[in-house]
Structure 1
Amino acid sequence: NAGTFTNTATVTGTPPVGADVTDDDSDTQTFIQEPEIAIVKSAEVDSEDDCYDTGDIVTYTFVVTNLGNVTLENVTIDETYHFTGTGTLGAVTFVSSSMGSVEGTLLPNETATYTVEYEITQEDTDTRYIDNQAEVTGSYGDGMTVDDLSGETNADDEVTQVDLCQQPSIAIVKSAEVISDDDCYDTGDTVIYTFVVTNTGNVTLENVTIDETYHFTGTGTLGAVTFVSSSMGSAEGTLKPGESATYTAEYVITQQDTDTRFINNQAEVTGYYLLAFSNEFFVTDLSGDSVDADNETQVDLCQRPDLSIAKSLVSNDDVVGGSVNYEITVTNTGNVTLYDIYVVDDKAGLMEVVPVLAPGASISFQASVIITQEMIDEGCFYNTAYAEIREVIDEQQQPGEGEDVEYRVVLRDDSNEVEVCFTQTPEIKITKTASYDDGGDCSDVGEEILYTFVVTNTGNVTLSSVT
């Protein structure tokens, strides 16, 4: 330990006369000091499962060995020499030494064991591993030191790495609420979609985005997805394990949607992790009505088909052979587009088919009835029209394929009855003439006179019981 050793010999002799005589001589030997120290480091994780992650405890064990030939003092370990953990390491604790030396002292070939504990943080789990290398230092002689970096054996300086378990997972739950003035959800109403995205894994997720158009049957344009809040205060796009974020998107129902009767929608959420290494690490999920479900969100729409038909008088010629002219207007008074509307006025011989009519739209037709004597005689003429939608009973048989197409009426409206009254001008004229049976111009006694009556209906109505 001292490095040198001096030995002095003294000789003394007593002469016959006089004082003793003496002499001495010294010899100093220098020893070769070969100080050497080594530290071996290992790690053990205390976990409830085989997945080492946030909250688990890492126990680092250091075995320091004096490999030299001098006693080492002031042996200390710097555990933070190289440490990638984001938390705080515990204090290095002395456990024991193989030859009974006190803490800080190591005899040649003696080993001492130390430990330190560390709790894994979320940032560590996000990084996927913890690197750690300690440095041991010992002193000897006159303030000289020796050191070593930890490794797996006395002969290497390998960094001790604790691999952590990453179980990335994400879930999205979607719901829909319709803002409507009534209980009938249809054109113009607003659907508010709400998304609750939850980080169900054990790593922090970044760049969390929602693709609302993953599957969408609506015919309009979805509004932008808007971030509302997060349960742990993370900014938009970031989710810590166990954290949930709420988003919304709005959509205005179109007429085509109402005609379809429902809107199906499913969104996809994507979140990334290990972005410091690559953008290839990500997780996805399809929306459902629970964390474990991936079903579509369906908004059922209200269909109220309805139509009306109105009939009005345009003109009346008021004479036999003339015409009574009408205007017939059909209006879609429901909230769905109507197809193949049959418009019929039997007395006018009108039968038209409207191929398509949007809600609120109207279409008009002109119809005429030729005035007959019977109509004048009746005094007034009454007429209606109707509009209806037909459904063919036999789907293999289509209208136009014959006269015997069977159908059922699924929607119908009858117009108001239009009364047309004609001007009746009854008038009769009688002309009487006389003639004689002898053909003369005057009658004689006993001669028979023949009277002839010509009765003429000079009015515009048929006369009966003419006497």
Structure 2
Amino acid sequence: MPRTSAVTISEKVATTENGDNFRLVTRDGEEHSRPSTKLSFRNALKGLALASLTATIPAQAIAQAACSVADMVEFPSVYYEDFGTGSGRTMNNDVLNHTFQPTGGIQDDWYAVGRSADLSGAYMQTLGGVDADGETEGRYLGINMRGKNEPGNSWQGEFYRQNNISMVPSGLPSGASLGGFRFSTALVGTCAGCEDVPNFTLIIEDSSNGSQLASDTSSGIGVANDDVWRTATLDVVPAPASATAANLVLFNSQPEGDNGNDVGVDNISFVPLVCYSPVLDFTKTEVLITNVVGDPDAVEAGDVIRYTFTAVNSGSATAYNVAVTENSFNGLGAIPVPVVFSGAADLDGGNGTNTDVAVGATLVYRADYVITQGDIDAGGIINNLADIAYEDLAGNPFSDTSDDDDVTSGDQPTSTPVPVPAVDDASSGNAQGDTVNITLTNNDGVAAIDSTVSLIPPSGAIGVVTDGNGDIISFTVPNQGAWSYTDGSGILQFVPLAGFAGNPTPIGYTVKAPNGANSNSASVTISYVPSVPEIELVKSVSSVADTSGNGIFGDAGDTVNYTFTAENTGNTALAGITVSDTDLAALSGAFTLNQPAAGFDGDLAAGEGPVTVATATYVLHVSDVAARGVTNSADVTSTAVATSAGGDPVPGAPLLGFGPIVDDSDAGSEASFDTQDGSTTPISNPAGTGGPDDPTVLNISNVVALDDSGTATSGTSSTPVANVTTEGTPDTVNGVA
């Protein structure tokens, strides 16, 4: 198909004599600052298109350019004529069909090269007296066009030619290709106010055969008789494949030679247009989405890793038909498929995939990967790279591999450490005051030796301690106790404050696996069995001793031996265990209480006992014999205290909220005893025999009166005694007449 060549006209108005502060004006009204040189001014005109005309290029000469005209970049000129600077007039051998006018006014058919000030006559000078670059010292070609009314009808339209300009530029940078050429010239109508409008044709010929490669006219694009410079530009795109050299021709298309045939020409340029390779900066990032299934704070099978693939065109050419695919992916589930999320455009007329990226634009793809249970069990890092493929306008392929960031050198894989799921922990049934140890990570899918833990204190915690990794390893909750964790051990410990009763406020923690990923937050709950301090006291007659030595066990003066045993039947430790026996002390006989018993330290751990805590002796009085026995109870007093980490009572740490823990004794021995040796019979279940808190009884009514034969009868046994009385002497029973 024929290609379209653009003729660009720009306007430059001088405001000072020396050319400073002139402005470059386009038809859209945009102003541009003054360039510093002729070349920079020409480059400033790039892309300021005001009008387009059609130039037909032979189809056989077309080679597809690698980029669009908008993406092409001007390369240093292969031909450039700006006529220089300096005073005076000179001739130019490239001017045709006109004669050099060295002095005076420039008449029809004549020309001269010089400054505006040197081109005498009002019809050859410009506004502000400047050349096309705004310089008063700059020179240009002033020409009074030959027309048909010249003598002998000698009009010739062609007035400037430059032949055999190379179309094979050298020194193209790596990755650049020739896209076409730009032929431009600055024109000014110097016959201010004249009615005929200058009209020119720009022609590019193949030097090998003189055939036209392209041509356009400046008709209707703004050149006027107003002494203002305008630049016409003819783009030849794509570069002709068969031509190696070109001829540049300026042709006068306004042939009458009447008013308005006075023109200035400057900055004749033939510039290669270069296509640079498109460059896409390609990054791949990820975000973990944990609220897809189950616990929104935990990573579970079915949760998603969302990948974002971002391609930014940082080059000088449009990238066409962009495609993104996964390169390497070590996840155990289905490989994600990238799809366009934003930024896709059709910049090549519907060809290909319509995923084109203009210079400076951004194209974004997305893909979701569904995490599998295998990924979680592996506890590793999901590493992956993606590839991006794209083309230039000519279909030349380009590709790149994704990078995780724009800072680190090289293509860094996108890595997603899969966190281990932390599971809530609980310890229940603990005795109040007990130190509690919990193996924290045994249910979190990672060995304690391979992980680190960071505790999450509750509100109000104090004394927070962090380790070198920034993990919280210990703290204290006021009025409750201290929490601590040691990496590698897996043990979380809670030590309650002395006297704390109740359940501590739950805490949280996270686990960091070897892959560096932090888990969700899990909770730790400790509960204690409600404190129920209890003690049971048993009072037993362990034996009756014949202290009087009369062979009778249980008469006045004999000694009754008592044993007090206590058992901690509650779930707290007890300390300060003290026995009192006010009943026995109130009797007439001599009473001695010995406590603590030998080997007893005054404390009982929860569940400990029965333990002998005290002993006592009582010497029977004649009144006891007369009463046929001794009946009495004792009581015990103790304090509920905390338990140490080793399970021992802590006497100095009484549990708050409890008064003295007391009990009245139960009988631990049968009421009767063996009068032959004073032994007693224990009761196997003191608490279940004789009712609650039944008194301890010693019966002595089975000792009978002495007979006159000198034998004391006790029960079924007779024992000779020394104090035999004669018949008629009053008998005594255990010393009682």
Same fold (TM over 0.5): no
TM-score (norm 1): 0.45
TM-score, L = length of structure 2: 0.31
